[in-house]
A and B are shown apart, each in its own frame.
Chain A
Amino acid sequence: MKMQFPLLLLLLLFSATADLSGTADLRETGLSIPASAPPLHLCPQSGAPRDLAPPGLASARSAAGEPEEAQNVGHHGGGFRVVQWEWTYVQTPYIIAMWLLVASVAKILFHFSQHFTTVVPESCMLILLGLVLGGVVLVANKKQLYQLDPALFFLFLLPTIVGDAGYFMSARLFFDNLGAILTYAVVGTLWNAFCCGFSLYAAKLLQVIDERVEADLMDFLLFGALISAVDPVAVLAVFEEVHVNDTLFIIVFGESLVNDAVTVVLYKVYISFVEVGVENVETADYFKGVASFFIVSIGGTLVGVVFAVILGFITRFTKKVRIIEPLFVFLLVYLAYLTAELFSLSAILSMTFCGIGANKYVEANISQKSRTTVKYTMKTLASIAETIIFIFLGISAVDKSKWAWDTGLVSCTLVFIFVFRAVGVIGQTWVLNRFRLIPLDKIDQVVMSYGGLRGAVAFALVVLLDGEQVKAKDYFVATTIVVVFFTVMFQGLTIKPLVKWLKVPRSSSRKPTINEEIHERAFDHILTAVEDIAGLQGYHHWRDKWEQFDKNYLSKLLLRKSVYRKSELWEAYQKINIRDAISVIDQGGNVLTSARLSLPSMASRASFPEFTNVTNYLRENGSGVCLDLQVIDNVPGAKVEEDTETHHVLAENLYKPRRRYQSHYSRHFMSLGEKERQDREVFQRNMKSRMETFKSTRYKRHKKERSLKKRQGPDTKEDRDKPRRNVSWQDTVPPAVGDSHSPTAAPPSLTTGGSLLPWKGSVSSPPPCVSVEATKIIPVDLQQAWNQSISSLESVSSPPAHTEPVHPRVSALSRLGVPRPVSYSPPGSVGGCTSSIGSQVVQSSLCFPEKKKEEEMEEEQEKEEEAELQPLLAPPTSPTKPPPPPGSAPSSGKRRKPSVYLRSLVTTPSTGSNESHSRGPTQL
């Protein structure tokens, strides 16, 4: 932290000075803000930029001769200036960007120290940082420029957090605990608000609170209403780090979301009462207040549901415009919030229900990429909004105008909110437990009481108060700040040790296995049936009713036809598969470690039976991951196994040289970018190779080898390259050879192409398993390799011609649509085929820059060379069978990362160049 602080300060100073200079600039130019202007918000002088002409070229604007420009010109002596100071032009976005940067950097810094962040919640640190920053601004400017602006908070910061929380909240969990959530949110909040209000009034009457605090009952009730609501932002920030169990979390968090309706209504009712004066309030007004509660809450919910339906319905038709799918999600969820705000309904409720409701349908409708985009964008926005909120809370506190301290008020409030929260929770839980299937025990109640954090919502509401009508506003603001700081910092800091000490069951981030998915579904059906038999119209009964309704009507309306057919279980199954694949790759940074490899969701790691169906299915659908497990198991004999294996090494490892540019650009489609495709393929191939390795290699042998390798020292790496190199070049070509007649057209299915393959001819083994992706790419690949090989051959025979690196690619592209040269037609004999394969690959690799080759050569050196030459010379003599290179049997265990493979490709020719040189031309 010591190291990090100066950097932060530097950043801050920069943004502060930028800001100040901006202010100064403005003052100079006559657009100055009045000295009595209210404290400036996130974007000070927000009015100023609006005076400027709409964005245009800076020079154009200066030519237009706006007042400040004219003045500037005068300063600088007139004439055309090369560099211009355009502060006023960029000011607003610039300052916002600077603040975002400061906030983000602060986040990075906090997470430098692992230990530190586990003890201190981020929200505490951010508030502290805010205090420091506020202090700096105050010292520099004599006046606090910034504070958490309620409009900014309610219109931008809060929705990002609520939107994220609502959209990703588990609907099942939420509705499972809906009763408890509603009780705590409605009854609990009302209880807290009234008790706090009346108790504070009592304290005032008893003169515990100083006389300077000019407030009557209504003021205290108003204050009680805004201070009593548990804050979603604070709860989220603190509980996310605590990881209490899901039920506990959803109850506290759900409460903090739903109580918004109560807070909004109470706040508005009291405000109006304060405005008209208590004496003028009629009895009817109280009933209106109650009525407005129902309107605000139910209306908010309805707005959310309506937008959820719209959102689901729209995403049904976005198949052709995948690129804007995420935008719809953001827009409609945000619109749900704004619309509710427009009608002064509960915006948080609206947004939450929009998110919860739409999630299922949207996730099913949009593409995987859009899903990821939505997720990351939402998380990023929410995280940055949260950071800004806490920093600004800190900054807002450092403001002389807010220091209207009254010890009585502050301490009474602190005590009251804590006591009433605890009493309320215990009382309600007692009632709830009589109806709950799983009662909330004492520990839960302690955490719930203690987790009643207050936060930015309360602060924003109190700032919004009208100082004219609520005389004690300044005291209330100060008290709110103290309460917020106390709950977020003290309770936030201590809740983790408390949870540990009480041994509250934690949540596990474990994902369900397929068995759990299946059986839990079965359990749901069982419970529904049992409720029906026992004649109980319980929770499961209604849930089942809803599911029937959803299946029969809603899903038909909101889901795409293609997805409607899919089942959730199948989706879950695929997700598990993908997760396995990813974890396998994560585990095996180096394939040598694959002996340790285990699939997290597999209890037994023993033999995998044939996944024929999965594989086929995935192949047909071009699904992301192909866990190709069947290959090895199916192979009848050892020889064929070897063949298949080599074939796979090949299929897996040859991939496209990166393209320099993309020929196709579209704003509306994200064509599967070359790189992306390549990445995906690398992923798939890695995956496959690892799975095979895992299967084919015997455990013990593998381990033994590994330990051997370790002892061998620095050379081991090169050593490992050997078998790979030897095997791989053998195999690189086959798919292309098969498809060679139409490399650019849609690739023929592998099985047809495969019939020409050497090992196909002799044995009718199962189709070599190459995913669709691979077949698509390899032919093109080979074509390119071929073209490159030609050009590189030329370069070998006459070095100067080689100098142009672009050449191969250009030629490759130009030939892409052209029929292949005659000489490239599939070789008739198996032997010929293999030899041509060998030379081709060698040639293709020749196109790598000479320099690199040499470097690699030096690295590798003599010992290797002999071994290298051996297999390269071998093919012509034993064409049908790839030469078993030294250690090829366990070779599968030695496959390494693609990058290493590339290097091996580079090095190969250096040893075998003679061969290719002499043999190459004969092919042409």
Chain B
Amino acid sequence: MGSSRSRMDDIPHAQQLIHETDFSAAHLLRLHQRFKLLDKYQTGELRPRDFGAIPALALNPIGDRIIGAFFSPGQETLDFPSFVRILAHFRPTDPNRSRDGTQQELANSRTRKLKFAFQLYDQDGDGKISRAELLQVLRAMLETQVVEEQLQSIAERAIQEADLDKDDAISFDEFRRSLEKVNIDHKMSIRFLK
């Protein structure tokens, strides 16, 4: 990584990004470095195949979905600010940060974290996790370990549990409610190195 050290000047819209995402300058530098490393052809933009080149990600059962979540629908490329904005979802919430009402909701809020997870399930983007969509994720996560019937009963059960309006699908609101008791801040955060 050492060959081309990032400087703040290289980063487009650095100040705005820091303000928006609450990443520190050091975080941003590090992420920019990573971004350049992933961007093999120095195009300034990432493509899905760039992500695909990460070996560990290839092993991840829902890796392709996560890659997909980085790209907004219809887009084939990802620039650095979007890259950072997505990663900002996974910053731990800062308890000391004062919340002024005027400011828009931060990317690492509970709702935004959940929204990110939700869209991984909701591949067709209709705002609902259908049974088929849930099954797909389950199948990916459990792979060969479970027979199809078991998967179905698990999915069935999960939908029943969460489905409040009985439309046989989980809406985002229902999704959020089913995870009401989970400390999302703990479970959907990683520690970014300085």
In the bound complex, do residue A435 and residue B62 qualify as a contact, i.e. CB atoms below 8 Å apart? no
Task: Please list 23 pairs of residues, one from A and one from B, whose beta carbons are closer than 8 Å in the complex, sorted by A's number.
Answer: A515-B179, A516-B178, A518-B141, A519-B179, A522-B117, A522-B121, A523-B117, A526-B116, A533-B38, A533-B54, A533-B66, A534-B34, A535-B33, A540-B190, A541-B56, A566-B145, A569-B138, A573-B153, A573-B157, A604-B163, A604-B166, A613-B152, A617-B149
Q: Does A614 contact B (CB under 8 A)?
A: yes
Taken together as a complex, chains A and B put the C-alpha atoms of A332 and B189 apart, in Å, by 38
In the bound complex, do residue A435 and residue B191 qualify as a contact, i.e. CB atoms below 8 Å apart? yes
Across the interface, name the chain A residue whose C-beta is closest to B146.
A567
In the bound complex, do residue B158 and residue A515 qualify as a contact, i.e. CB atoms below 8 Å apart? yes
Among B38, B61, B154, the residue within 8 A (CB) of A573 is B154
Q: A510-B181, A532-B54 are in contact. Are A527 and B146 (CB under 8 A)?
A: no
Q: Does B192 contact A (CB under 8 A)?
A: yes
Q: Using a CB-CB cutoff of 8 Å, which residues 504-534 of chain A contact chain B?
A: 508, 510, 513-516, 518-523, 525-534
Shortest distance from the beta carbon of B111 to any chain A beta carbon, whole Å = 15
Across the interface, name the chain B residue whose C-beta is closest to A519.
B179
Q: Does B188 contact A (CB under 8 A)?
A: yes
A contact residues around B190 at 8 Å (CB)? 437, 527, 530-531, 534, 536, 538-540
Q: Does A284 contact B (CB under 8 A)?
A: no
B contact residues around A539 at 8 Å (CB)? 190-191
Shortest distance from the beta carbon of B194 to any chain A beta carbon, whole Å = 9
In the bound complex, do residue B149 and residue A516 qualify as a contact, i.e. CB atoms below 8 Å apart? no
In the bound complex, do residue B160 and residue A529 qualify as a contact, i.e. CB atoms below 8 Å apart? no
Q: Does B71 contact A (CB under 8 A)?
A: no
Q: Which A residues are closer than 8 A to B by beta carbons?
A: 435-438, 441, 508, 510, 513-516, 518-523, 525-536, 538-541, 544, 548, 565-567, 569-570, 573, 576-577, 601-604, 606-609, 611, 613-614, 616-617
Q: Using a CB-CB cutoff of 8 Å, which residues 121-157 of chain B contact chain A?
A: 121, 134, 137-138, 141-142, 144-146, 149-150, 152-154, 156-157
B contact residues around A515 at 8 Å (CB)? 158, 161-162, 178-179
In the bound complex, do residue A534 and residue B192 qualify as a contact, i.e. CB atoms below 8 Å apart? yes
Q: A438-B92, A613-B149 are in contact. Are A608 and B137 (CB under 8 A)?
A: no
B contact residues around A570 at 8 Å (CB)? 142, 145-146, 150, 154
In the bound complex, do residue A603 and residue B178 qualify as a contact, i.e. CB atoms below 8 Å apart? yes
Taken together as a complex, chains A and B put the C-alpha atoms of A530 and B86 apart, in Å, by 10
Across the interface, name the chain B residue whose C-beta is closest to A176.
B186
Among A522, A573, A603, the residue within 8 A (CB) of B62 is A522
In the bound complex, do residue B192 and residue A526 qualify as a contact, i.e. CB atoms below 8 Å apart? no
A contact residues around B162 at 8 Å (CB)? 515, 603
In the bound complex, do residue A529 and residue B63 qualify as a contact, i.e. CB atoms below 8 Å apart? yes
Q: Does B29 contact A (CB under 8 A)?
A: no
Shortest distance from the beta carbon of A613 to any chain B beta carbon, whole Å = 5
A contact residues around B59 at 8 Å (CB)? 548
Q: Does B25 contact A (CB under 8 A)?
A: no
Taken together as a complex, chains A and B put the C-alpha atoms of A267 and B70 apart, in Å, by 56
Among A522, A531, A536, the residue within 8 A (CB) of B141 is A522
Taken together as a complex, chains A and B put the C-alpha atoms of A51 and B115 apart, in Å, by 75
- Can you add 7 more A-B contacts, CB < 8 Å, to A525-B60, A527-B90, A533-B87? A519-B179, A533-B34, A536-B191, A567-B145, A573-B154, A603-B164, A617-B150
Taken together as a complex, chains A and B put the C-alpha atoms of A281 and B70 apart, in Å, by 64
Taken together as a complex, chains A and B put the C-alpha atoms of A534 and B34 apart, in Å, by 7
Q: A520-B187, A534-B31 are in contact. Are A565 and B166 (CB under 8 A)?
A: no
In the bound complex, do residue A529 and residue B138 qualify as a contact, i.e. CB atoms below 8 Å apart? no
Taken together as a complex, chains A and B put the C-alpha atoms of A514 and B160 apart, in Å, by 10
Among B160, B164, B189, B193, the residue within 8 A (CB) of A609 is B160
In the bound complex, do residue A526 and residue B66 qualify as a contact, i.e. CB atoms below 8 Å apart? yes
Among B92, B156, B189, the residue within 8 A (CB) of A613 is B156
A contact residues around B149 at 8 Å (CB)? 613, 616-617
Shortest distance from the beta carbon of B26 to any chain A beta carbon, whole Å = 13
Among A510, A525, A532, A609, the residue within 8 A (CB) of B156 is A609
In the bound complex, do residue B56 and residue A544 qualify as a contact, i.e. CB atoms below 8 Å apart? yes
Q: Does B8 contact A (CB under 8 A)?
A: no
Among A530, A607, A613, the residue within 8 A (CB) of B87 is A530
In the bound complex, do residue B154 and residue A518 qualify as a contact, i.e. CB atoms below 8 Å apart? yes
Shortest distance from the beta carbon of A570 to any chain B beta carbon, whole Å = 5
Dominant SS among interface residues on chain A: helix
B contact residues around A609 at 8 Å (CB)? 156, 160
In the bound complex, do residue B120 and residue A522 qualify as a contact, i.e. CB atoms below 8 Å apart? yes
Taken together as a complex, chains A and B put the C-alpha atoms of A518 and B160 apart, in Å, by 14
A contact residues around B51 at 8 Å (CB)? 533
In the bound complex, do residue A529 and residue B62 qualify as a contact, i.e. CB atoms below 8 Å apart? yes
Q: Does B177 contact A (CB under 8 A)?
A: yes
Shortest distance from the beta carbon of B62 to any chain A beta carbon, whole Å = 5
In the bound complex, do residue A516 and residue B182 qualify as a contact, i.e. CB atoms below 8 Å apart? yes
Across the interface, name the chain A residue whose C-beta is closest to B31.
A534
Interface string of B69-90 (1 = CB under 8 A from A): 0100000000000000001001
In the bound complex, do residue A523 and residue B150 qualify as a contact, i.e. CB atoms below 8 Å apart? no
In the bound complex, do residue B164 and residue A526 qualify as a contact, i.e. CB atoms below 8 Å apart? no
Among A437, A533, A569, A603, the residue within 8 A (CB) of B161 is A603
Taken together as a complex, chains A and B put the C-alpha atoms of A808 and B116 apart, in Å, by 69
In the bound complex, do residue B138 and residue A518 qualify as a contact, i.e. CB atoms below 8 Å apart? yes
**Looking at B137, B138, B166, B188, which has the most chain A CB atoms within 10 Å of its CB?**
B188
Shortest distance from the beta carbon of A548 to any chain B beta carbon, whole Å = 7
Taken together as a complex, chains A and B put the C-alpha atoms of A913 and B85 apart, in Å, by 82
Interface string of B42-76 (1 = CB under 8 A from A): 00000000010010110111110011001000000
Across the interface, name the chain B residue whose C-beta is closest to A607.
B166
List 10 A-B pairs, minimum CB-CB distance, nearest first. A567-B145, A535-B34, A515-B178, A529-B66, A614-B153, A532-B56, A613-B149, A613-B153, A437-B191, A567-B146
In the bound complex, do residue B92 and residue A529 qualify as a contact, i.e. CB atoms below 8 Å apart? no
Taken together as a complex, chains A and B put the C-alpha atoms of A103 and B86 apart, in Å, by 59
In the bound complex, do residue A526 and residue B62 qualify as a contact, i.e. CB atoms below 8 Å apart? yes
Taken together as a complex, chains A and B put the C-alpha atoms of A532 and B62 apart, in Å, by 13
Taken together as a complex, chains A and B put the C-alpha atoms of A514 and B29 apart, in Å, by 40
Taken together as a complex, chains A and B put the C-alpha atoms of A522 and B193 apart, in Å, by 23
Q: A519-B117, A521-B141, A527-B90 are in contact. Are A538 and B158 (CB under 8 A)?
A: no
B contact residues around A510 at 8 Å (CB)? 181
A contact residues around B38 at 8 Å (CB)? 533, 535
In the bound complex, do residue A520 and residue B34 qualify as a contact, i.e. CB atoms below 8 Å apart? no
Across the interface, name the chain B residue whose C-beta is closest to A525.
B62
Shortest distance from the beta carbon of A737 to any chain B beta carbon, whole Å = 32
In the bound complex, do residue B57 and residue A529 qualify as a contact, i.e. CB atoms below 8 Å apart? yes
Taken together as a complex, chains A and B put the C-alpha atoms of A753 and B96 apart, in Å, by 70
In the bound complex, do residue A513 and residue B178 qualify as a contact, i.e. CB atoms below 8 Å apart? yes
In the bound complex, do residue A617 and residue B182 qualify as a contact, i.e. CB atoms below 8 Å apart? no
Taken together as a complex, chains A and B put the C-alpha atoms of A573 and B34 apart, in Å, by 40
B contact residues around A533 at 8 Å (CB)? 34, 38, 51, 54, 57, 66, 70, 87
Q: A518-B138, A534-B34 are in contact. Are A565 and B161 (CB under 8 A)?
A: no
A contact residues around B153 at 8 Å (CB)? 573, 611, 613-614, 617
Shortest distance from the beta carbon of A895 to any chain B beta carbon, whole Å = 24
Among A516, A521, A528, A536, the residue within 8 A (CB) of B60 is A528
Shortest distance from the beta carbon of B153 to any chain A beta carbon, whole Å = 4
A contact residues around B189 at 8 Å (CB)? 437-438, 527
Taken together as a complex, chains A and B put the C-alpha atoms of A529 and B134 apart, in Å, by 19
Taken together as a complex, chains A and B put the C-alpha atoms of A604 and B54 apart, in Å, by 42
Taken together as a complex, chains A and B put the C-alpha atoms of A779 and B161 apart, in Å, by 37
A contact residues around B188 at 8 Å (CB)? 523, 526-527
B contact residues around A617 at 8 Å (CB)? 149-150, 153
Q: A526-B66, A531-B190 are in contact. Are A604 and B150 (CB under 8 A)?
A: no
In the bound complex, do residue B181 and residue A516 qualify as a contact, i.e. CB atoms below 8 Å apart? yes
A contact residues around B154 at 8 Å (CB)? 514, 518, 569-570, 573
B contact residues around A527 at 8 Å (CB)? 90, 188-190
Shortest distance from the beta carbon of B4 to any chain A beta carbon, whole Å = 14
In the bound complex, do residue B142 and residue A567 qualify as a contact, i.e. CB atoms below 8 Å apart? yes
Q: A536-B192, A609-B156, A611-B153 are in contact. Are A525 and B61 (CB under 8 A)?
A: yes
Q: A548-B59, A613-B152, A613-B153 are in contact. Are A530 and B164 (CB under 8 A)?
A: no
In the bound complex, do residue B92 and residue A437 qualify as a contact, i.e. CB atoms below 8 Å apart? yes
Shortest distance from the beta carbon of B181 to any chain A beta carbon, whole Å = 7
